[in-house]
């Protein structure tokens, strides 16, 4: 069984994001970048399935600039067997990424795609679902537990009312939630081994995919700062504030 894991290079979650002075986007100059945390969980789950003898190969895929090779090497240090970089300088939107992943899936023929449920930069939560639709494969999103057997994936997913368990036929797309696992730290020997693992680079044109943006960002701005709380003397004043100032009742 082959598992494909898409990974995205994003601003590290510990870094305070700053908006460019002209409001055109987020400033990433001299900013620490790392693998999207949900994708890290996806890589860990795929590696665990391989270690359990369920999967035979884990392939990490990233779409973006040349520096995404670092993200792929990080995935291989965790345990992925090889990497594929779809290299482009174009700002990729979820639909373009889904089309690129479809082209890679058509070539690689994986039995399962495990992806992070969303990226922490745009929070779109779209790529996994779009890939499922383009491939015509079943999907199980927000997975907190995954078990594979008899050509099916049994996925426990988190919903508003509790937990839901789905059984989907393979090939399928699964997106990971936070509680699926806790990713391991890559050891120094594995980091060194990752440098020697194969990493192929292709262009969107090689895959026959148009990645031109369909949406245009007009302006990016920071959220307004929250004002300090205010003490009230009694319930009557609280109700008055909620009604006339906050206007929530």
Average pLDDT of adjacent 10-residue blocks, the chain of 249 residues: 96 90 86 94 96 95 95 96 95 94 96 95 93 96 93 91 93 94 94 95 94 89 84 91 88
Q: How many helices (H) and strands (E) does the chain have?
A: 7, 11
Distance CA 187, CA 10 (A): 22
Vertex 115, ends 97 and 67: CA angle to 5°?
A: 55
8 A C-beta contact, residue 30 and residue 11? no
Contacts of 205 (CB under 8 A, 6+ apart): none
Per-residue pLDDT, 77: 96
21 by Cβ neighbours in 10 Å (0-12 / 13-18 / 19+) ranks as exposed
Question: What's the pTM?
Answer: 0.86
Q: Domains in the chain: how many in total? A: 1
Can you name the residues that pair with 165 across neighbouring β-strands?
156
Supply 206's token pair.
């090689």
Provide the CATH number for the domain around residue 126. Answer: 3.40.50.620
Supply 209's token pair.
């995919």
Distance CA 33, CA 70 (A): 9
Per-residue pLDDT, 87: 96
Per-residue pLDDT, 161: 85
Q: Can you list the positions of beta strands (E) in the chain?
A: 2-6, 9-11, 33-35, 57-64, 82-87, 112-116, 139-149, 152-159, 162-169, 172-176, 199-202
Per-residue pLDDT, 92: 92
Per-residue pLDDT, 222: 85
User: Which residue segment(s) compose the domain that 125 sits in?
Assistant: 2-245
């Amino acid at each position: 069984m082959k598992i494909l894991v898409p990974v995205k290079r994003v601003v590290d979650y510990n870094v305070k994001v700053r908006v460019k002075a002209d409001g055109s986007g987020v400033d990433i100059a001299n900013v620490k970048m790392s693998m999207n945390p949900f994708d890290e969980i996806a890589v860990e789950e795929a590696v665990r399935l391989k270690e359990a003898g369920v999967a035979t190969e884990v392939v990490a895929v990233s779409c973006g600039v040349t520096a995404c090779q670092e993200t792929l090497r990080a995935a291989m240090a965790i345990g992925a067997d090889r990497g594929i970089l779809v290299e482009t300088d174009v700002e990729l939107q979820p639909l373009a990424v889904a089309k690129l992943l479809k082209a890679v899936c058509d070539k690689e023929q994986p039995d399962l795609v495990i992806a992070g449920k969303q990226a922490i930069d745009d929070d779109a939560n779209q790529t996994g679902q779009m890939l499922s639709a383009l491939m015509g494969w079943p999907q199980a999103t927000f997975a907190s537990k995954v078990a594979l057997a008899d050509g099916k994936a049994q996925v426990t997913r988190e919903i508003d009312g509790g937990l839901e368990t789905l059984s989907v036929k393979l090939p399928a797309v699964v997106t990971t939630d936070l509680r699926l696992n806790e990713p391991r730290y890559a050891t120094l020997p594995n980091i060194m081994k990752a440098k020697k693992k194969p990493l192929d680079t292709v262009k969107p044109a090689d895959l026959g995919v148009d990645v031109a943006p369909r949406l245009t960002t007009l302006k990016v701005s920071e959220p307004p700062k929250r004002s300090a709380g205010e003490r009230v003397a009694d319930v009557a004043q609280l109700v008055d504030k909620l009604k006339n100032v906050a206007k929530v009742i």
